[in-house]
Structure 1
Amino acid sequence: MTSVRKAAFDPVVDARTRLLILGSLPGDASLKAAQYYAHPQNGFWRLIGGVVGRDLATLPYPDRLEALKASGVGLWDVIASAERPGSLDTAIRSPEAADLRGLIDSLPEIKAVAFNGATAARTGRRVLAGIAESIALIDLPSSSAAHARPLSEKAASWSILQRYLPDSLPDRS
Structure 2
Amino acid sequence: MPEHITHAFQPIYDTESRVLILGTMPSPKSRENGFYYGHPRNRFWKVLADVLSQPLPETNEAKTCFLHRNHIALWDVLASCEIHRADDSSIRNPVPNDLLPILAAAPIRTIFTTGTKAAALYKRYCYPQTRIPAVPLPSTSPANCAVSYEQLKSAYGAVEETLR
Match of 2:136 in 1: 139
Where in structure 2 are there 5+ consecutive unaligned residues?
A: none
Q: Distance in 2 between matches of 1:28 and 1:139?
A: 23
Contact 2:19–2:162 (Cα < 8 Å) also in 1: yes
Q: Deviation of residue 92 (structure 1)?
A: 1.3
Instruction: Give the whole-Å Cα distance in 2 for the aligned partners of 1:116 and 1:102.
Output: 21
* Count of residue correspondences: 161
TM-score by length of 2: 0.90
Question: Partner of 1:170 in structure 2?
Answer: none
Counterparts of residues 85-164 of structure 1 (less than 5 Å)? 85-107=84-106, 109-126=107-124, 127-129=126-128, 131=130, 137-148=134-145, 149-164=147-162
TM-score by length of 1: 0.86
Q: Can you give the 5+ residue segments of structure 1 that lack an aligned partner in the other structure?
A: 168-173
Instruction: Tell whether the 8 Å contact from 2:123 to 2:133 is kept in structure 1 after alignment.
Output: no
Task: Give yes or no for contact 2:99–2:130 (8 Å, CA) kept in 1.
Answer: no
The answer for the alignment partner of 2:37 in structure 1 is: 37
Tell me what 2:23 maps to.
23
CA displacement at 1:136 relative to structure 2: 5.8
Q: Tell me the residue number matched to 2:13.
A: 13
How much does 1:60 deviate? 1.8
How large is the Cα RMSD of the aligned pairs?
1.7
Asked if the contact 2:14/2:105 (under 8 Å) is kept, the reply is no
SS of 2:113's equivalent in the other structure is strand
Give the partner amino acid of 1:50: D
Identity of aligned residues (%): 29
